[in-house]
Chains A and B, each alone.
Chain A
């Protein structure tokens, strides 16, 4: 496509944040407080971002309930990651976690409280005392089972106080990169007018969230379409560890809606068709509070061996009746609401039917613990990409490695959203400079994507291709994976990805054309889907959330490394895991049991 020279508007900012969930809004607070000129782009009104759906809590070793410290939190996170997490970043996150939580309280977060007025904390899967040797520790700070909602609104409120400039219902299309590889901003589409605009920026912070919509059965919102991942992949930056997707043990069977692990934290447990509390067999110490990959696999195993519940023996049951109405109504009110609405059961009287459901993307845009996006350059596997940052679920720092612990997602948003904002502020203060010149073709890629949809007819329907993609990923890249299934998945998904890049929409109008938005989102989703299945097929081992029936064991000799997938040629590369923390001794990989 020739250069589209028709006029495109441009605005310039010190920093542009793409995405207004937890990470984006935490970064924005830092940037706006420092007096920088900042624009926050979001394809939905900020409080509609998917952080809103987080339920159980924010992990931080405050020690409000019993002895706890960040070293234990760090160990749990490293072990939870099945040793694929980078230990410098994990140390940074766990050390900063308490401060991040206190700051959120200072912003006005309505946390639950203890009798002495301190923050209440509840147990969560994989969080233990004494470097994994002790009892479960209460580390999750919560606002009932609406922690994400309370946190997202609090962060928005703080931004309102700060006067942050939001661009609401703008979809970012593509990064602007010059010939040196520097990122100079983004091109974005205003949904209401259908017009595109250049956002020139000295720093671009991607906080675009996950892409769980590549799966058929997912706890994720419709908006989780991996837009940031599509943007960086098209710009020649790799995606890291995309084979690792977390299946949350307790999605409502059939509906996919999340039931927080906090239910098990408060004393709920899983049973099979025989009424047996089967997690006692799989994880004698932590039982139902083992990490999510372990619990999800155990549930799948029970179902596979014929001990599933219901007429089709296709789910297990989450029991919480024994907790009593008072606790359920005060600590788990939304869970009760969800169970009644989506499963037709009142958990005060009956158990909830649940199945492992795609929930979280451990992989993403390679970043370091300052939030800088990193890529291979001149022999350095982790060279920062000038001007580009990523934080939150879209980033792979990697603090979650092959499996994320519950409560570590929200703390990740706060710690790394803040860190990215802080690094941008310091960089701009240290090296004040004018905007770099935009290349003549700055908007070409974005505009040609729009032009394709504006013209065109006779191509496939977006909904059809999207449905084929979700079914294929679900079948070929689920909880248990095999070489044959994955190899078939690779060829199918490659074909689907190609189809996704040539869909046709009937609606050619400009004003709030959501058909066009969905077509653009599908292009991003299909890229994420291809990265996922290609990376999973290549990794010949089982680690964390990747469980291969043909390679049942973890293989540290050959596979203790991060996957890097490049869109260009669908090529794979690898880089070392950072086993060296910032200040403490390294946790060496060892066998993992709960």
Chain B
């Protein structure tokens, strides 16, 4: 199977280039990651991240034939050849398919990604009804792979100022949690021309999310809450 892969090693390459590979693929190789692992056995200088190989750890996000996705749950048979592999767009490349995710995680951390409830804790669990718990569906499942955020033009232009779809999805995850007591502060934290309002509903995030989540919907719910509290 034919592959065209983005290569860049800062120690020896003045600039990035695309390298062509022909990888012998067996019937048992189902997913793109299987083929990339084979490729590495042929050329051990190719660097990429991978771990769980089942779509839950978020390591092997990359740009596959122009679209962000996880190599481990991308069906090899459905890919057009040559399969063009590039690092996630919008973040600095460290080497080959490995990007520097510092900015992505900085934005995630900026939304205070933890339940804040400073009331005295009960001996046992805090109660939460199944309906309240259901509010977290479609939010807590995020694997922080960055497919969405790095497909968002608003993030490309303002990675330091716009929280991005992944961070905003998580912002809403904590707003939506019945146990969290600081919704007002969370909204204040996003009340800014860039942090939230740079989202122009382009919807690339929804299109690429490998877990089928909808950051755009979460963002619109945050915007609704902003409007509600001003009236």
Contact = CB atoms under 8 A, between A and B. Distances in A.
A257 B44 contact: no
B226 interface: no
A111 interface: yes
A585 interface: no
Contacts of A515: 40, 44-45, 47
Interface string B40-52: 1101110111111
Interface residues of A, number: 63
Contact of B52 (A161, A221, A461, A513): A221
Interface in B215-231: none
A512 interface: yes
A239 interface: no
A119 B122 CA distance: 14
A115 interface: yes
Interface in A38-82: 44-45, 47-50, 52-53, 62
A153 interface: yes
Given A45-B101, A47-B57, A107-B115, A506 B45 contact: yes
Interface string A261-280: 00000000000000000000
A457 interface: no
B65 interface: no
B59 to A, nearest CB: 5
A116 B41 contact: no
A488 B123 CA distance: 56
Contacts of B49: 44, 48
A62 B148 CA distance: 39
Contacts of A514: 40, 47-48
A160 B114 contact: yes
A135 interface: no
B192 interface: no
A8 to B, nearest CB: 20
A456 interface: no
B177 A108 contact: yes
Contacts of B123: 102
A509 B45 contact: yes
A102 B125 contact: yes
A110 B9 contact: no
A52 B52 contact: yes
A53 B53 CA distance: 10
Interface stretch (B17-25, B128-136, B155-163, B201-209): B128-136
B124 interface: yes
Contact of B140 (A48, A101, A150, A463): A150
A254 interface: yes
A44 B57 CA distance: 10
Interface in B126-180: 126-130, 132-133, 136, 140-141, 143-144, 177, 179-180
B10 interface: yes
A74 B14 CA distance: 62
A112 B132 CA distance: 10
A550 interface: no
Contacts of B121: 106
Interface of A: 44-45, 47-50, 52-53, 62, 98, 101-102, 105-108, 110-119, 143, 146, 149-150, 153, 157-158, 160-161, 192, 221-223, 254-255, 257-258, 334, 337-338, 341-342, 461-464, 505-507, 509-515, 518
**6 pairs of A and B residues whose beta carbons are closest in the complex:** A117-B127, A108-B115, A515-B44, A463-B41, A157-B114, A48-B57
15 contacts: A49-B57, A53-B54, A105-B126, A107-B115, A108-B177, A112-B130, A113-B128, A113-B130, A113-B133, A146-B141, A149-B141, A150-B140, A157-B114, A334-B56, A514-B47
